[in-house]
Structure 1
Amino acid sequence: MQTHNLGYPRIGAHRELKKACENYWSGKISQADLLDTARQIRSENWKLQKESGIDLIPVNDFSLYDQVLDMSLMVGAIPKRFQALLKQGISPTDLYFAMARGYQKDGLDVVAMEMTKWFDTNYHYIVPEFYENQTFTKTSNKVVEEYKEAKAMGIPAKPVLIGPVSYLLLGKEKGASFDKLELLSSLLPVYLEILKALQQEGANWVQLDEPLLGMDLQDKDNRAFEYAYKVIRDTFPELKILLATYFEGIQHNLKTAVNLPVCALHLDLVRRTQQLEEVMENLPEKTTLSLGVVDGRNIWRNDYEQSLGLINQAVQKLGDGRVFIAPSCSLLHVPYDLALEKDQSADLTEVRQWLAFARQKIDEVVTLKQLATKVGTEEVEAKLRANQKAVESRKVSELIHNSKVKERLKAALTEDAERRNPFAVRKVKQAEALNLNIYPTTTIGSFPQTKEVRRWRRQHKKGELSADAYNQLIEEETEKAIRWQEEVGLDVLVHGEFERNDMVEYFGEQLEGFVFTRYGWVQSYGSRCVKPPIIFGDVSRPEAMTVKWATFAQSLTDKLVKGMLTGPVTILQWSFVRNDQPRAETCRQIAYAIRDEVSDLENHGIKVIQIDEPALREGLPLLRKHWEHYLDWAVSAFRVSASGVQDKTQIHTHMCYSEFNDIIRHIAAMDADVISIETSRSQMELLDAFADFQYPNEIGPGVYDIHSPRIPTSEEMITLLRKATSVLPAEQLWVNPDCGLKTRGWQETREALKRMVEAATGMRELVSDTAL
């Protein structure tokens, strides 16, 4: 029996990688300094896992930005628009970042590659771009170099690559209409070249990640898997391939998955425990089974007795020589180390005993092997007893259960999820109350969080800055933002959210049932890290959360100021959620808390209220057969949060990086008066779903990409808006950025929004000219 890990957090214990990348982008450190930080993080991760007792340690799970982008560079899938950068002699590192972030200097203006969610997680990957008859060539030697680096340190290394079929299926076809799987025959030789180099360097095991085996596949997809892995096995009969599936069970692709000619198959037994028996019944005699029994997606302590039941079941059927123990997926999705949480709140003190971060999950994997193999029995048995004591204490803790919350939900009415009148009626009343221009302009909510703003927050939390002094500074920053928005000519203003740390954390800090960490950071995309709240108990709102700053901002101007809230589904999705009750029940609890806040905002004179739900689509189960159930409760939760207002109060929502075609009916069922969506990177392609469906409500298609530092021209935005008006009436359209501006700098933000207002003005003139 062996232990292994599928991947480890790469940001560093104190977000060293984030800081190094951002310092490199701003010219504060050299490329050599950046790469040295990367080597140090890799080395520390490897040493930690080796010292803990992991038998096979992942290599190439580290990335400067994104593992899918790494693969694109490795196989030479570099979009044609970046060729000009290559001709200028750009370094591989700078080309890599340009593909992720765009490039706007030296007379060149190159748009970044598209970014979207990694399955149903809150991690974003850079979407590969494929062209008809595309050829591939090995362009990066990253995985081999990192394997050599680990080998020199004495690390029992297992190189990790995204499998060839999943890599293609994760990408998008560009240009002519064709099937991206047609490229498999030209892609495979590059994979074979990489595998040959690894084998020559002494690699024994190689992990190929094929998470698409957990998705709904077509026959041609299954044939692609069969073809690819036959070629790999025929070429490398001695190389041990561990095929990793995760995030879903593989029962629906069972025949394909178990019969692929690989040495080991990894299962996510946290997401789908029930698949174990069926897989074992069909597993070829010599194939090893890797049991993903430690949750790689959530932060709850493992229940050793439950995991041992699965391990013992597998050992009895297969023998311990054919069983591996591992986390369910890469630990990329959980924080680095619980031991860092030394300064903790009273709630965290009690909740802590129920938690495990990446460092602790590695220990859990090793301990499970010791328990299963009876190694170090007395000490290990003590760990088992302590584990069971913690598991039982969580079941009965009074900290978790709130009778008032449970009673409120029990007495809830169906009418709580219904607006008073349909949109056609509300639209007339809102037009009278709000008196907006055609093509009204707004932003999604946040403005740049400067170093000064972040420093004030830190000082306030440490007690170095009094509440009065802190509030005064935030008031001054808010007023500057309001005055600037008035000056530039935006129609619906925002207060800027300078008092907020994160769009979920801010609300969780004010809701009962949440607890927070100080160092619980996880990577969202690139250098962007978030610190998800932990929902451990029943959720309620003790007092108003946003009314103070919304009403202060509204008092400064005669223009409309939006109240800004995060929706219940997004708070759920972007938190670590309790696993002792259905997620739908937790979401309903959050929905009623947000409903109370919406009512308070309306009662204090806020006429436009935005309830952001960027995570609604990412919460979709990976298998379509589970979609309807999820969408029913998710849409209902949003409607509960939004439906307690009068018709004249305008409810907005925001979603980003989503493909809406498959769920457009449910998006419409949310019944938000205005929805803003990401469309700039996709060149307004996402609007087609709304047009085909004849979406009745109003839409703000994002006209520029805030995730890239490049500033588009007003003409470019007008081009996008004209595309929008070719599929939707002007009366339905708003003008806004793709997303919030928190992570951008003020200089680029000011210029981009000026150009955006110019674009809206230009569109209004076009409408006026047409009318004449």
Structure 2
Amino acid sequence: MQTTFIGYPRIGKMRELKFAVENYWKKNITEKSLRATAQDIRMEQWKVMKNLRVSLIPSNDFSLYDGMLDLSVMLNAIPKKYKDLHLSELDTYFAMARGYQGDKGDVEALAMKKWFNTNYHYLVPELYDDTEIKLNTTKLFSEYQEAVKAGIKTRPVIIGPYTFLQLASIKGNKTREEYVNEIITAFCQLIHQCEEKGMEWIQFDEPSLVMDLDNESVHLFQRIYEKVLIEKSNLKVLLQTYFGDIRDCYKELISMPFDGIGIDFIEGRKSLSLFEQYGFPENKTLFAGVINGKNIWKCDYPKTLTLICELKKFTDDIVISTSCSLLHVPYSIKSENKLADDILEHFSFAEEKLYELQELSQLADQIDSIENINKQVCSNQKRLNEDVRKRVSLLNEDDFSRNPIRAERQILQRKKIGIPQLATTTIGSFPQIKEVKQIRKNYKKGDISLAEYEETIFSFIKDCIKIQEDIGLDILVHGEYERNDMVEFFGENLEGYAFTDFAWVQSYGTRCVKPPIIFGDIKREKPITVKYSAYADKLTKKPVKGMLTGPVTILNWSFPREDITLKEMAFQIGLAIRDEVLDLEAAGIQIIQIDEAALREKLPLRKSEWHSEYLDWAINAFRLCHSKVKAETQIHTHMCYSEFDDIIKEIDCMDADVITFEAARSKLIILDTLQATAFETEVGPGVYDIHSPRIPSVDEITKIIRKMIQKINVEKLWVNPDCGLKTRGLEEAAASLKNLVEATEIVRNELNQKDS
């Protein structure tokens, strides 16, 4: 049985690409050096795939920043504002990704959104009236030829035209329909060029097909591919889907002239039943996603082989594959030397998943003789904590409800805490300067004691409070210098987690995270953040927020268990965070922020499953954290880089007192929704994008605040950046915040003059 996978990590085993790209941005290396590093990474990965005898190897799944951005460039969907900078091709590419501020202009980056139900972020293509779609296959063919020279014939991977159109942002007067023919023409040309290069397969990724589709959407998909596929002769086309099943278009899809269809049997809960209802065509190859591409647990061989046997009832032409791209898991467990063997034996990263595919292909005809294979590593017995489970089982309605009602609490809080009109604050973290990273590294290596480490951390906190007071912010933060990552830090302080040294996963661009692993039942043994927040609080007369990560975000940004439900894990974490919230309150912290940046991340892609499968327990997990605090204690939360319009009522039901949203990159479009739904929670839509190095001007922020007060009651409005400042430099962060405070003061004066 042949094997393949949908895509592979690209940041480098030791994040070589990340550091090379960032050095290029700093002008420490040349473009030639950057591209050489990228090529080295590709070649090393192709050799691994060849050695593991992967039958069909992809190419063009590699990117210097983002695959959707690559497709925008391939289709010449480069907005004029970036072309007008007259930069090199590569620098124009990075200007689209990061924005540009320099002698050639001042341009914001493309908007960034979550990639379906993952923690990966893609850059949203922008289509204007003057956008001229035309094909540029330089990257695709150069990487294909690299592999050919190395003796490897690959299958180029491209995000498909339907998904591109569905995710693109239409900025002009033209409708989405008016771009369809141009997109079709470009993909027809692509088919011809691939034929000329002698390629055997090409893969079009269409994850948008797993969403809710109406008849118009299905017809658009059919229309695109009926014209594109008619151009092929010898080239085989694989239509690849992932992140769910394709129930709304399966019947139509199997009648179309694709040579292969890739189907997810991990998250595609109805994929097998679709086969039972409609069968699978004899003249097509099934690319069966049977290995979980989003999680790191070893494959349950008997279960998976049983599934493969079921699929064989419908077709003998099967290529076994991953459920989605391996972009969402780390490179290899080979780099992990500190985890105990009885923990590490449970895990399978990208390279190990290729090995599992190879083993499955050899075992596919031996299901009767391998009933007990890897049964031990799929067991959960040593990961259970009865005390934790009992605590969850005793939860009742009172644990999810807070009194008095929010409107009454908000009046009490503003009076007790002394919150001014248009209160200014930041989201939480301050820049993680190199000195902070070095002191953490020294402590982890054992070069300094805990006392020495904490003394230094306290000095950073003291400086952070002074900086904010000098800037003039109203509500301060302690900077989170003790934290490596907003999820990993909490995981390190909770029983039930396992941690890696090098299991990095790309979140966006050069931003990588090292998700902790929920290995067993979760329990908080002692306070985690209290001493840092309490120390900061004593340094100033202004309120200082206690900063926590919420249970849903901790869950969604961890690798979860597969032996218990997500709901069970969320409630376990929620109880641990509740203990921390109450300890912060007891220490005199008046404002506590419980970030739920990833609330939407695990939201089912089909609306009919939103509440029953996710939102009901996710909202309750957050409410569990703060239901026992006093009315005068103000609870904040924060969300970013997702679309929230369609769950805004559910967000209001989280019963926080204040919420800060990402809004700058999305041009404040959330304001209309907040206004239309009579949103009760006080709100701080972000006034500038922290993922770009550009510093917003006072005038720019002033205009944004003026726009906000036209749609949001000024008594419920806060002023803040989009997100935490961890990834920014200290000077640019301070300059941006100074402008934010100055802009807020201008608007306050305007309001006072108007009232008088």
Same topology, TM > 0.5: yes
Partner of 1:502: 485
Residue 55 (structure 1) aligned with residue 40 (structure 2): no
Cα distance in 1 for partners of 2:584, 2:43 equals 50
Cα distance in 1 for partners of 2:113, 2:553 equals 16
Residue 330 (structure 1) aligned with residue 325 (structure 2): yes
* Pair 582,168 (structure 1): closer, same or farther in 2 beyond 3 Å: same
Partner of 1:312: 309
Range moving further from structure 2, 63-72 or 424-433: 424-433
**Letter aligned with residue 312 of structure 2:** V
Contact 1:225–1:256 (Cα < 8 Å) also in 2: no
Partner of 2:682: 698
* Per-residue Cα deviation, 1:610-661 (whole angstroms, up to 9, x for no partner): 0000111122100111001211111111011122110110000000122222
**Letter aligned with residue 562 of structure 1:** K
TM-score by length of 1: 0.96
Matching residue within 355, 372, 382 for 1:363:
355
Contact 1:254–1:279 (Cα < 8 Å) also in 2: no
Question: Secondary structure of 1:538's match?
Answer: strand
**Letter aligned with residue 435 of structure 1:** G
Shift of 1:671: 1.2
Partner of 1:731: 715
Matching residue within 148, 151, 155 for 2:145:
148
Shift of 1:485: 0.5
Contact 1:598–1:644 (Cα < 8 Å) also in 2: no
Partner of 2:236: 240
Shift of 1:286: 0.3
Partner of 1:395: 380
Cα distance in 2 for partners of 1:150, 1:220 equals 40
Partner of 2:470: 487
* Per-residue Cα deviation, 1:512-563 (whole angstroms, up to 9, x for no partner): 1111100110000000000001012111111101001000111111111000
Cα distance in 1 for partners of 2:636, 2:286 equals 48
Residue 175 (structure 1) aligned with residue 172 (structure 2): yes
Partner of 2:127: 130
Shift of 1:273: 4.9
* Per-residue Cα deviation, 1:202-242 (whole angstroms, up to 9, x for no partner): 21011110011100112121111111211122111321011
Shift of 1:181: 3.9
Question: Secondary structure of 1:652's match?
Answer: strand
Cα distance in 2 for partners of 1:238, 1:284 equals 19
Cα distance in 2 for partners of 1:34, 1:465 equals 36
Cα distance in 2 for partners of 1:410, 1:78 equals 54
Cα distance in 2 for partners of 1:678, 1:316 equals 49
Shift of 1:381: 7.9
* Per-residue Cα deviation, 1:365-416 (whole angstroms, up to 9, x for no partner): 1111111257xx9xx989x86523322xx2332xx11111111111112111
Question: Secondary structure of 2:148's match?
Answer: helix
Question: Secondary structure of 1:267's match?
Answer: strand
Contact 1:148–1:201 (Cα < 8 Å) also in 2: no
Residue 228 (structure 1) aligned with residue 220 (structure 2): no
Matching residue within 253, 256, 264 for 2:252:
256
Cα distance in 2 for partners of 1:359, 1:752 equals 42
Cα distance in 1 for partners of 2:397, 2:310 equals 45
Contact 1:258–1:279 (Cα < 8 Å) also in 2: no
Cα RMSD between the aligned structures? 1.5
Cα distance in 2 for partners of 1:730, 1:532 equals 38
Partner of 1:688: 672
Residue 559 (structure 1) aligned with residue 542 (structure 2): yes
Question: Secondary structure of 1:514's match?
Answer: strand
Residue 476 (structure 1) aligned with residue 450 (structure 2): no
Partner of 1:14: 14
Question: Secondary structure of 1:208's match?
Answer: strand
Shift of 1:707: 0.5
Contact 2:279–2:314 (Cα < 8 Å) also in 1: no
Cα distance in 2 for partners of 1:737, 1:716 equals 13
Range moving further from structure 2, 156-165 or 215-224: 215-224
Cα distance in 1 for partners of 2:643, 2:5 equals 32
Q: Mapping of 1:521-600 within 5 angstroms?
A: 521-600=504-583
Contact 1:482–1:553 (Cα < 8 Å) also in 2: yes
Residue 343 (structure 1) aligned with residue 361 (structure 2): no
Partner of 2:193: 197
Matching residue within 146, 149, 155 for 1:158:
155
TM-score by length of 2: 0.98
**Letter aligned with residue 168 of structure 1:** L
* Pair 285,575 (structure 1): closer, same or farther in 2 beyond 3 Å: same
Partner of 2:651: 667
Partner of 1:39: 39
* Per-residue Cα deviation, 1:119-160 (whole angstroms, up to 9, x for no partner): 010000000112347430124511111111111111130100
Residue 407 (structure 1) aligned with residue 390 (structure 2): yes
**Letter aligned with residue 58 of structure 1:** P
Cα distance in 1 for partners of 2:522, 2:175 equals 47
Question: Secondary structure of 2:238's match?
Answer: strand
Cα distance in 2 for partners of 1:34, 1:471 equals 38
Cα distance in 2 for partners of 1:768, 1:494 equals 28
**Letter aligned with residue 67 of structure 1:** G
Shift of 1:164: 0.5
Shift of 1:257: 2.5
Cα distance in 1 for partners of 2:355, 2:255 equals 32
Range moving further from structure 2, 751-760 or 273-282: 273-282
Cα distance in 2 for partners of 1:650, 1:388 equals 48
Cα distance in 1 for partners of 2:605, 2:228 equals 27
Partner of 1:105: 102
Question: Secondary structure of 2:187's match?
Answer: helix
Contact 1:250–1:257 (Cα < 8 Å) also in 2: no
Matching residue within 675, 683, 695 for 1:711:
695
Q: Give the unaligned 5+ runs of structure 1.
A: none
Cα distance in 2 for partners of 1:99, 1:246 equals 27
Question: Secondary structure of 2:440's match?
Answer: helix
Cα distance in 2 for partners of 1:731, 1:440 equals 9
Cα distance in 2 for partners of 1:733, 1:95 equals 36
Cα distance in 2 for partners of 1:597, 1:483 equals 26
Range moving further from structure 2, 580-589 or 309-318: 309-318
* Per-residue Cα deviation, 1:420-464 (whole angstroms, up to 9, x for no partner): 111111011101111122111000000010111111111100101
Partner of 2:206: 210
Residue 512 (structure 1) aligned with residue 495 (structure 2): yes
Matching residue within 258, 264, 267 for 1:268:
264
Question: Secondary structure of 1:206's match?
Answer: strand
Partner of 2:731: 747
Question: Secondary structure of 2:637's match?
Answer: strand
Partner of 2:623: 639
Question: Secondary structure of 1:424's match?
Answer: helix
Residue 64 (structure 1) aligned with residue 64 (structure 2): yes
Residue 115 (structure 1) aligned with residue 112 (structure 2): yes
Contact 2:247–2:270 (Cα < 8 Å) also in 1: no
Cα distance in 2 for partners of 1:699, 1:131 equals 32
Question: Secondary structure of 1:248's match?
Answer: coil
Q: In the comparison of the two structures, how many residue pairs are matched?
A: 754
Range moving further from structure 2, 212-221 or 70-79: 212-221
